[in-house]
Amino acid sequence: MSKTIVNIIDQSNPLPAYLFTKEYYEDGDELLFISTQEEAPCIDHLAKQLEINEMLVKRIVIKRYQDNLLYERICRTIKNQLSQDVQYYLNLAGGNRYMTLSVQHVFEEFNTLFFYTQTRENQIVKTIFDHSIYDDDDEIFPIRHRMTLKEYFGLYGLETDVDQPRQQVKETAFSRHLFTMFSQHLLGRGDYQAMETLREKYRNWRFLIISQAENPDKDYMTAIPNLSKFLEYIGFVPERKGSLQSHEMEYLTGGWFEEYVYALIKEVLQPDDIAMGVHISNGKIRHNNELDVCFIKANKLFVIECKTGVTSESLFNEIVYKVCALKEVLLGTSNSYIFSLKKDMKGDWKKTANYMGITFCDYNFLTRPEKMKGILNEMNRIAKEK
């Protein structure tokens, strides 16, 4: 008997259909997608992401009658295209409740196994719909498939450069060294001024001659008189003697913190995929569309915005709005965090972030191992992996 994998299309959340198909599809199976007319265009995208022969993909598109979805019309439309000679694997996670009830009712007359994909729990429940509710015959299966970042972003129709992730500028030990210097207040005012001038005046330059920065001979240049001493003090050795390249200036003005967080997550959480500096686009966001650190674990996406310092409430609000905009592009499916070495003395910034669905970790979290461990354990809990 042939087998057909059946999913109800929900364009705002294609993950259940994708993961269910990944778990149960075998070579030669057919796919059947049931959708309303409005949701039908995303079937092609989902089938493409699944990389299944188009000849094996079937569609049942429910049309509205006088702008309404009517139960009997839904049932008749579906029933007329089913066969008693097929074994159906039906995933009931998708569509609105009205559509789901209609689909379930029709398939009960056919040779059907019923499932429900629970993406939050990372599991699939197999259910028998009968008159007995006391025999505990439901079965639960963990979802084995683990998505990559490219796979996840592609599923939601996002264009990314995740195939060309930003590489680490320095070894992890050096980023940890800088974290120690920042967290233990081992940098002086001149050091902070040097980094601030690099950030404001030179971060977009292709390269900077150190001696020229210390003694500018051009009116458009801003002096950093102690640049050599700063680099020597922190132990930073430029790739090319006497100059700083663009990626090195980016590293010195905050990139090191992204690398520190990246290494921490990679070592402690061991995600399925992780990257730094990923740019995403869906045609809605036209700026600030970079994910400092993003990773996926057990099919859950996590995004971390990394800031060494936040100088004002208005700047913090800008950061929060950026993260919220990125959440919107990601259709609200991401777990969003802001890591900052700034002290949130009154807890106001944490409240603002929490109100927007973002977890804010300030200096007191990042520098206290027990608190940081709690944040990382919470990420594991969300991923539903120990």
Residue 203, token pair as written in the block: 């971060």
- How does the average pLDDT of the chain come out, rounded? 88
Q: What is the pLDDT of residues 42-65, one digit of tens each?
A: 898 899 999 988 899 999 998 876
- The mean pLDDT value for 356-372 works out to 90
Closest C-alpha to 362, from 294, 317, 306: 306
Pick the CATH number of 147-386 from 1.10.3720.10, 3.20.20.450, 3.40.1350.10, 2.30.30.180: 3.40.1350.10
Q: Give the whole-number percent of the chain exceeding pLDDT 70.
A: 93
Residue 287 has pLDDT above 60, yes or no: no
Q: Where are the domains of the chain?
A: 2-145, 147-386
Q: What is the pLDDT of residues 92-146, one digit of tens each?
A: 998 788 889 999 999 999 999 999 999 989 999 998 876 677 777 789 999 999 9
Residue 376 confidence (pLDDT): 94
pTM to 2 decimal places? 0.89
Residue 68 confidence (pLDDT): 61
Residue 155, token pair as written in the block: 């599923």
Compute CA distances 330 → 32, 89, 318, 385, whole Å. 26, 29, 18, 22
- The mean pLDDT value for 304-319 works out to 74
CATH topology of domain 2-145: Rossmann fold (3.40.50)
Closest C-alpha to 29, from 56, 49, 6: 56
Residue 317 has a CB neighbour count (10 Å cut-off) of 15
Q: What is the pLDDT of residues 324-340, one digit of tens each?
A: 777 777 665 689 898 98
In sequence order, what are the residues at sequence separation of 6 or more whose Cβ sits closer than 8 angstroms to the Cβ of residue 227? 194, 210, 213, 214
Compute CA distances 160 → 276, 327, 333, whole Å. 12, 15, 16
Lowest mean pLDDT among 220-229, 259-268, 321-330: 321-330
Helix (H) or strand (E) holding 152: helix 149-155
